[in-house]
Amino acid sequence: MTVAWPEPRSAYIHVPFCAHRCGYCDFTLVARRDDLIDAYLQAMAIDLAQLERPREVDTLFFGGGTPTHLPADQLRRLMNLALRWFVPAEGAEICVEANPAGLDDAKITVLADAGVNRVSLGVQSFDAGVLKLLERDHGRVEITSAVERLRSYIPNIGFDLIFGIPGQSLDLWAKTLEEAIGLAPTHVSTYGLTFEKGTTFYSRLTKGRLRRCDEEAEREMYALAMDRLPQAGFEQYEISNFARPGFRSRHNEIYWRGLPFYGFGPGAARYIAGRRELNHRSVTTWIKRIQTGESPLADAEELSPEERARERVMLGLRRASGILLADFKRETGFDFRELSPSALSQNLKLELLEEADGSIRLTREGRFVADTVIVDFL
């Protein structure tokens, strides 16, 4: 099958700086290395220049790390640099991840001046004990203040929340959801806590200093989110994501639809013309490679047609709407039913998948074991 690859209309910029690396975090970042920010910005300017000409985009996403950890003047430099090479189309979504701590008025002004129209706020919890365990540097007061000040300039505010935390009860999670709903965000993401190798949480777990949340309790927390957030007017449109009508994360939907995107910065991924590339995760190595004219890539992979089709399954099943069979056939050249017939039959029989309106999608029960279902097709 001959594929006509569209030019990406989305871009991701990775900002790898934080005040502190939280114990559960395995993202590409450096803490307490603000001395590297200028070198990072200089390297970013060099790397973006490889585009040779500005590209129009429908979504532009600044993730981290903590983009808003940058001082206001350096944050402005980053915004100006990115917008020089990525020109927002009319109505484009420009999103920045932020933490409540350190988000002062000067930084909010920088974001607003740059045209940022969506902020994803790393709330995680409102409970002081939970926030301390997660090693977060903010509390309820900082969250509320950040929301109030942001809303005057950028009313489209999303919250990230974590459940399944050691010692967290269902009642405490319910209070977290209610407090989040009470602040009227446009979007809520709920993530079960994971223990990734290389994190201090994983080390503490293996040494018996932390205990996982009970599996049944974690299931009840996820179920509560799936019930309570829709009651409050949020549509569950992806396994972990809930949005008010018209406020889905358009950038993340690019990923879930298997569409191409640019990616710049240490640890950033890109998907262009069927080729996936990943930059080096070490911030200092990424900077040095660019400064010396070397490629910042750590890995690259050209996916075969079948690999692309199976990846579309993995991504598509995350969406509440599932996989539209006609679109899948047209876009991949493969009949979904014939790609993994035994996996499809088994999961339909177990009622973890369902077929409706020309689509295959996870059932409510299937969302609890989504990773297991998806693996069956890979």
Read off the pLDDT of each residue in 26-48 and give the average, rounded to a whole number. 95
Same domain, 26 and 133: yes
Same domain, 252 and 345: no
Same domain, 111 and 14: yes
pLDDT of residue 1: 47
pLDDT of residue 11: 98
pLDDT at 110 over 90: yes
With respect to residue 267, please indicate whether it lies within any of the assigned structural domains: no
Q: Which domain holds residue 206?
A: 10-256
pTM of the predicted structure, to 2 decimals: 0.95
Same domain, 239 and 356: no
Cα–Cα distance between 117 and 64 in angstroms, integer? 18
The CA distances from residue 154 to 231, 247, 253, 296, 368, in Å, are 25, 13, 21, 34, 34
Same domain, 217 and 98: yes
With respect to residue 276, please indicate whether it lies within any of the assigned structural domains: no
What amino acid is encoded at 243 in this protein? Answer: A
Each residue's pLDDT tens digit, 319-336: 999 999 999 999 899 999
pLDDT of residue 26: 87
pLDDT of residue 23: 86
Average pLDDT taken over every residue of the chain = 95
3-state secondary structure of 230: helix
Each residue's pLDDT tens digit, 349-372: 999 999 999 999 999 999 999 999
Provide the 8-state DSSP code for 255.
H
Same domain, 75 and 219: yes
Confidence of residue 3 (pLDDT cuts 50, 70, 90): low
Alpha-carbon dihedral 103, 109, 110, 115, rounded to 10 degrees: 120
With respect to residue 158, please indicate whether it lies within any of the assigned structural domains: yes
With respect to residue 167, please indicate whether it lies within any of the assigned structural domains: yes
- What is the count of structural domains for the chain? 2
Q: Which residues contact 172 (CB under 8 A, 6 or more apart)?
A: 127, 130
pLDDT of residue 326: 95
Each residue's pLDDT tens digit, 268-313: 999 999 899 999 999 999 999 999 999 999 999 998 999 999 999 9
Token pair listed for 260:
């191409």
- Which of 256, 271, 296 delimits the end of a domain? 256
With respect to residue 145, please indicate whether it lies within any of the assigned structural domains: yes
Each residue's pLDDT tens digit, 129-146: 999 999 999 999 999 999
With respect to residue 365, please indicate whether it lies within any of the assigned structural domains: yes
Cα–Cα distance between 176 and 180 in angstroms, integer? 6
Provide the 8-state DSSP code for 100.
S
Q: Of residues 3 and 343, which shows the higher confidence score?
A: 343
Cα–Cα distance between 106 and 319 in angstroms, integer? 37
pLDDT at 51 over 90: yes
Rg (CA), the chain: 21
Strands 262-264 and 269-272: unpaired
Each residue's pLDDT tens digit, 82-102: 999 999 999 999 999 999 999
With respect to residue 4, please indicate whether it lies within any of the assigned structural domains: no
Same domain, 241 and 328: no
- Which of 217, 234, 256 delimits the end of a domain? 256
CATH code of the domain covering residue 234? 3.20.20.70
- Which of 256, 283, 313 delimits the end of a domain? 256
Cα–Cα distance between 49 and 290 in angstroms, integer? 11
Same domain, 343 and 224: no
pLDDT at 2 over 90: no
Same domain, 244 and 338: no
Each residue's pLDDT tens digit, 199-246: 999 999 999 999 999 999 999 999 999 999 999 999 999 999 999 999
With respect to residue 357, please indicate whether it lies within any of the assigned structural domains: yes
Read off the pLDDT of each residue in 42-59 and give the average, rounded to a whole number. 97
Same domain, 241 and 346: no
Each residue's pLDDT tens digit, 150-202: 999 999 999 999 999 998 999 999 999 999 999 999 999 999 999 999 899 99
